[in-house]
């Protein structure tokens, strides 16, 4: 047995330990992506240009992926402060010397191609936050660890928001919270953060949504009252007061039922709700009306059918009209006639769904899940906690990218402008995603080594 092991060449060992299921999923997704991009760029007259660029990005990505697979990820663990500083420096550099594409100062122009550094920087962030949680694993229950993690997150998110690139910050929140959760941070803190964030963002968006539908407000005067609470201290305090009263009554009731709930819990929740409502004012002021519209219109695109709702309506029609078998490659009317916006980048899944139909699109979702599931498996089997956390972070990133993008295209999520990894046209996203896979393979291949 031992002899047998020694006889194997390095390449054979590599082949034995590599995650072939992951590679298969990768092949499927990239292949599907290339075909769909070709179709989506046909009417531009020169789809081959897009193919060449995308293939070049795949080549760079795969080269980096192979290198990272061979590189021992544990070295990253020893260089955390440097990695974090480098990531911040890169993002400050792009803010100072980067170029602006569609209103976002987040690109480097390097001769023939341009690059969006945030797509790689977010990998560095995962390496750092995972390393931080690993190094403090005995104290993860402490509030200070939770707060320090949020501070690390804040550094990146603030710099990205200054570009401003709202969409790219979105994957940071689930990655951080999920990593904190699996690392053992008190779920109460995480839940509190989610509730607070939800309230802070939810209030301005929902009021915008209701304001867009005056009929609804006339039909339901109580809604009118709720909406008026924004900017009316009296109404707001009445509503907050009744929520607090309800929470305490519920707590009292539960204790009567001999379910042990601390009195601190309703107090804490009240505090969180008040803090959330207060920070909603900040969100309200920092988002312009049209941005809020764009974020909320997915709930009912018809209220702004020719404006911010247009993209969602068109992409739902595109997907839905594909039916079970699709309209056939290169024959989607929605995509070929130009009804779909951004069809080779953010809305690529709509083209795929229209031309490939339910059978193919469902298969793509399954392969996506396969990729995420393999990443979670790698997290389970990693030889050290650091590897487990990095793998979990990457799995979360891929999962949420897919959910946010495909959800947006199908009208389940707000339109935020995130690419679909491996499928969307775009070199930076492709390179960043492939390097992420490189990290996963590096963790996987070393699962037995000591």
Q: Considering the complex, what minimum distance in angstroms separates the CB of residue 357 from other proteins?
A: 7
Distance in Å, CB of 60 to other proteins, minimum: 25
Please select the residue that binds other proteins; options are 402, 430, 439, 443, rule is CB under 8 A. Answer: 402
269 binds other proteins (CB under 8 A): no
The reply on whether position 286 binds other proteins by CB under 8 A is: no
Based on the shown chain and the rule CB under 8 A, indicate whether residue 5 belongs to the binding site for other proteins. no
* Number of neighbouring beta carbons within 10 Å of residue 237: 12
β-pair partners for 115: 108
Structure tokens at 64: 């980096």
Examine residue 88 and tell whether it contacts other proteins (CB under 8 A). no
DSSP structure string for 340-402:
STTTTTTTHHHHHHHHHHHHHHHHHHHHHHHHHHHHHHHHHH-SSHHHHHHHHHHHHHHHHHH
Q: Which range, of 58-66, 106-114, 150-158, 315-323, touches other proteins by CB under 8 A?
A: 315-323
Size of the site for other proteins (CB under 8 A): 66
Kindly report the backbone phi and psi dihedral angles of residue 382, in degrees, each rounded to the nearest multiple of 5, phi listed first: -60, 150
Answer whether the bond into residue 164 is a cis peptide, omega within 30°. yes
Please pick, from the candidates 45, 96, 222, 233, the single residue that binds other proteins as defined by CB under 8 A.
45
Asked if 322 touches other proteins (CB under 8 A), the answer is: yes
Task: Give burial (CB, 10 Å; 0-12/13-18/19+) of 197.
Answer: middle
129 C-beta neighbours (distance < 10 Å), count: 25
| Shortest spacing between CB 274 and other proteins, in angstroms | 29
Strand partners, 107: 99
Chain position carrying tokens 């999520």:
413
Q: Which is nearer to other proteins, 156 or 446 (CB)?
A: 446
Q: Which stretch binds other proteins (CB under 8 A): 29-37, 72-80, 366-374, 421-429?
A: 366-374
Q: Which residue has the tokens 């707000």?
A: 414
**Cα dihedral sign, 160-162-163-165:** positive
Q: Contact with other proteins (CB under 8 A): which of 319, 390, 439, 443?
A: 319
End-to-end CA gap in the chain: 19
Q: How far is the CB of 395 from other proteins (least distance, A)?
A: 7
Closer residue to other proteins in complex, CB, 102/234: 102
Tell me if 423 contacts other proteins by CB under 8 A.
Answer: no
Contacts 24+ apart (CB under 8 A), 166-171: 166/291, 166/416, 166/417, 167/416, 167/417, 167/418, 168/106, 168/118, 168/119, 168/122, 168/418, 170/400, 170/404, 170/416, 170/418, 171/122, 171/397, 171/400, 171/401, 171/404, 171/418
State in angstroms the smallest separation of the CB of 289 from other proteins: 7
Select the residue interacting with other proteins from 297, 390, 394, 406 (CB under 8 A). Answer: 406
Q: Is 330 helix (H, G, I), strand (E, B) or coil?
A: coil
| Closest CB 271 distance from other proteins, rounded Å | 26
* Least distance CB 187 / other proteins (angstroms): 9
Q: Is 337 in the site for other proteins (CB under 8 A)?
A: yes
Q: Does 410 bind other proteins (CB under 8 A)?
A: yes
Choose between 219 and 366: whose C-beta lies nearer to other proteins: 366
Among 206, 361, 394, 439, binds other proteins (CB under 8 A): 361
Nearer to other proteins, 39 or 429 (CB): 39
C-beta of 227 vs 395, nearer to other proteins: 395
Torsion sign across C-alpha atoms 236, 238, 239, 243: positive
Give the residue ranges of DSSP H helices in 166-211.
166-169, 172-183, 187-211
Tell me if 290 contacts other proteins by CB under 8 A: yes
* Residue 350 token pair: 């709509």
Considering only 75, 256, 259, 448, the residue that binds other proteins (CB under 8 A) is 448
Residue 394 binds other proteins (CB under 8 A)? no
Cα dihedral 350, 211, 104, 158, rounded to 10, equals -110
- CB-wise, 102 or 285, nearer to other proteins? 102
196 binds other proteins (CB under 8 A): no
Residue entry with tokens 């008026």: 228
Among the listed ranges 87-95, 197-205, 328-336, 427-435, the one in contact with other proteins (CB under 8 A) is 328-336
Q: Does 318 bind other proteins (CB under 8 A)?
A: yes
Q: Which of these segments, 51-59, 61-69, 276-284, 402-410, binds other proteins (CB under 8 A)?
A: 402-410
User: Which residues of this chain interact with other proteins, rule CB under 8 A?
Assistant: 42-46, 102-103, 137, 178, 181-184, 288-290, 316-324, 330, 333-334, 336-339, 341, 353, 357-358, 361-362, 365-366, 368-369, 372-373, 376, 379-385, 388, 392, 395-396, 399, 402-403, 406-407, 410, 412, 447-448, 450
């Amino acid at each position: 047995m031992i002899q047998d092991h020694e006889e194997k060449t390095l390449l054979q060992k590599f082949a034995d330990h590599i995650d072939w299921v992951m590679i298969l999923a990768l092949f499927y997704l990239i292949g599907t992506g290339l075909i769909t991009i070709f179709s989506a760029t046909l009417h531009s007259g020169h789809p081959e240009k897009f193919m060449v660029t995308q293939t070049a990005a795949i080549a760079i990505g795969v080269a980096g992926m192979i290198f990272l697979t061979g590189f021992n990820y544990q070295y990253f663990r020893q260089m955390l402060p440097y990695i974090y500083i480098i990531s911040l420096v890169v993002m400050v550099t792009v803010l100072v010397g980067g170029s602006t594409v569609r209103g976002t100062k987040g690109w480097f122009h390097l001769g023939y191609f341009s690059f969006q550094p945030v797509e790689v920087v977010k990998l560095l962030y995962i390496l750092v936050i995972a390393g931080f949680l690993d190094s403090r694993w005995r104290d993860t229950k402490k509030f200070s660890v939770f707060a320090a993690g949020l501070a690390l997150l804040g550094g990146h998110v603030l710099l990205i928001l200054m570009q401003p690139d709202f969409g790219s910050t979105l994957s940071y929140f689930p990655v951080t919270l999920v990593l904190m959760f699996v690392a053992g941070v008190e779920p109460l803190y995480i839940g509190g953060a989610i509730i607070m964030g939800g309230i802070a963002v939810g209030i301005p968006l929902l009021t915008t949504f209701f304001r867009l539908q005056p009929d609804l407000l006339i039909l339901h005067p109580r809604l009118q009252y709720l909406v008026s609470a924004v900017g009316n201290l009296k109404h707001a305090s009445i509503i907050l007061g009744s929520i607090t009263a309800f929470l305490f009554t519920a707590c009292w009731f539960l204790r009567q039922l001999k379910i042990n709930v601390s009195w601190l819990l309703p107090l804490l929740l009240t505090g969180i709700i008040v803090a959330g409502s207060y920070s909603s004012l900040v969100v309200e002021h920092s988002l312009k009306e049209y941005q809020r519209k764009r974020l909320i219109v997915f709930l009912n695109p018809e209220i702004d059918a020719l404006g911010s709702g247009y993209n969602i309506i068109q992409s739902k029609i595109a997907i839905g009209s594909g039916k079970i078998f699709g309209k056939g490659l290169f024959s989607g009317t929605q995509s070929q006639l130009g009804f779909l916006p951004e069809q080779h980048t953010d809305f690529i899944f709509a083209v795929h769904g229209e031309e490939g139909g339910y059978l193919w699109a469902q298969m793509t979702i399954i392969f996506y899940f396969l990729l995420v599931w393999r990443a979670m498996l790698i997290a389970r089997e990693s030889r050290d906690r650091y590897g487990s956390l990095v793998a979990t972070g990457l799995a979360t990133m891929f999962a949420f990218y897919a959910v946010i993008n495909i959800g947006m295209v199908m009208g389940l999520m707000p339109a935020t402008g995130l690419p679909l990894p491996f499928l969307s046209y775009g070199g930076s996203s492709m390179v960043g995603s492939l390097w992420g896979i490189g990290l996963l393979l590096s963790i996987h291949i070393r699962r037995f080594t000591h």
